[in-house]
Chain A
Amino acid sequence: MTTAEIPFKIDIPDSKLSLLKQKLALTTFPDELEDAGREYGAPLADIQRLVARWRDGYDWRKHEAELNAELPQFMKDIEVEGFGTLAIHYVHKKSEVEDAIPLLFVHGWPGNFLEVRKILPLLTAASPDHPSFHVVAISMPGYGFSDGPTKKGFRFPQYAEVANKLMLALGYDQYVTQGGDLGFFVTRKIANMYGGKHSKAWHTNFPRLPNSSPPKLFSRPLAYLTHILTPYTEAEKAGLARTDWFEKLGRGYFMEQSTQPQTLGYGLTDSPAGLLAWIYEKLVNWSDDYLWDDDEVLTWVSTYWFSRAGPAASLRIYYEMVQGNERGHEDTSIPLGFSYFPKELFNVPKRWHKASNLVFESEHTAGGHFAAHEKPELLVNDLRAMFGKGGPAFGIVPGKAGYR
């Protein structure tokens, strides 16, 4: 049942801009150990430079206008069982191709709807050589300009419910999804709850299967033999080292956010420098030597600073998913596609993955966690290959093959 779309333009009040400036002007910086580099966290020189730019020079209004021009945005009230109505912010762009494939893009943390920016024109472009998509990029509750939930217990089923209801309200009874980071978990939940009926296939750049660990002798004897007899390639070794690094040194944020998000939230809400550092460290460490432009970073972080629900709200999903035990094993049955980027945080040998519904795999030699932002062409090529003519999920949405 389609409901009307209410256009939305980002328009941060002047009072918020001036408060930000006041706070930036009062920023107190810590010191740093000699030769710390990035080993102890976000480097002082970077943060000082970014704060100075944010205070003098960075022009939010200019970037706000660009976002409004590039990304057609809307608001819609969605009712969530047990949680009342949430105002949901989303980007929606239709392709000229009428039978384009409806695609729901779900961001993660510390990402947001901005991550659709570069892939949007590529996905919606029309061509006889590849499929086109109608794209919906939702701001998850607690992110961007969506409301945050006000009650405890808003978990993946609720995020999935919001997303599915949004797609249905836009007239997309059947669709496919793309997601990474938390978007992986949300789209997996969508696949479980609405797979077959509404969600027809799902693609992720965060390839994490519940059984993605070395094959065990008794459960997968042939795979086990291959595993112990075949040496790892250099790329695989690098991937395992990356995974190990993240496990040992990269998950502090996760441990705090999933146990005491409110405690962390005070500093992120009150200190622009604190919020900047918390996010910037991940933008650098999780990407593959991506050349962040200072204003690019500041726009990204400003979206958190100016978010409707405030930055503290964005953390609570971690608490809910861990305390609600939601990251474990979940089989899905609809077709699944993986894109492997070498600097993703979880990068294990492909042969460890086993899923009967894994119909598409694509491996890359560059790119990290923020695939849509770092490698938009590579990601879109993968989606075109998976869903286009000759691809394993061609025509998966009946009547919407993606071509004229």
Chain B
Amino acid sequence: MALTQVSSNKCAGGFQKVFEHDSTELKCKMKFAVYLPPQAETDKCPVLYWLSGLTCTEQNVITKAGSQLAAAEHGIIVVAPDTSPRGCNIEGEDESWDFGTGAGFYVDATQDPWKTNYRMYSYVTEELPKLINANFPSDPDRMSISGHSMGGHGALVCALKNPGKYKAVSAFSPICNPMQCPWGQKAFAGYLGSDRSTWEAYDATVLAGAYSGPQLDILIDQGRDDQFLSASQLLPDNLIAVCSEKKIPVVFRLQPGYDHSYFFIYSFMNDHIKHHAKYLNA
């Protein structure tokens, strides 16, 4: 598990670093970003895993989301992986921006030609935490997960499928019900095949309906002027309905005037980090 440091910049009293490694799950070289707060010099810190959305890499969140100051204030390590395996030379992986490269959808694919490399679910939930805990001053018992859009879907799914593993979960404009929206249907058909029952394992709305485990407290921010919301790609109402029925605590905030961009994430990142800090530092 050798790590190569790609970059390091001092930021908000700590360090924003990027590393590269050979991934065993994805069978290719993968980059990920790590923010180390000042407290990491002396103590073990909790970790927040951030999953980015379609077309993003590990760079977008660390340059555009403004998370470092809040992370430094609360002493939280922020880890941001890439959104798909890269350079695997799979035919068709670069054809669309919402499937293949930059669009891993945080699932373990079962269909050819994706199933060898496109195992982002296992990468995020298994390989990456082991790597982080072995190489950084992280507290292995205190981790949480968050993300934007496809990454929001990823965060919700990881939390719901792993009761008790993540101390907190939140999302920005997540894809709440991929089985019912064009994005999800395209991706799941490609990665998981045509049997829709296999899709349910990666759909946050379905998983919430069947969730049993320690109590969650989900914070979701959604821009009201988000074009993908009006294009029925995100479907938050479905998730809220299920959570209301199953009594899964959710606070869903519809923010007027905000869209799908990183400007929106930047505006509410502080609130989310505070939400995570409450549970990570408890």
The finding on whether chains A and B are genuine partners in a shared complex, rather than unrelated, reads no
Residue positions of A touching B, CB distance < 8 A: none
Residue positions of B touching A, CB distance < 8 A: none
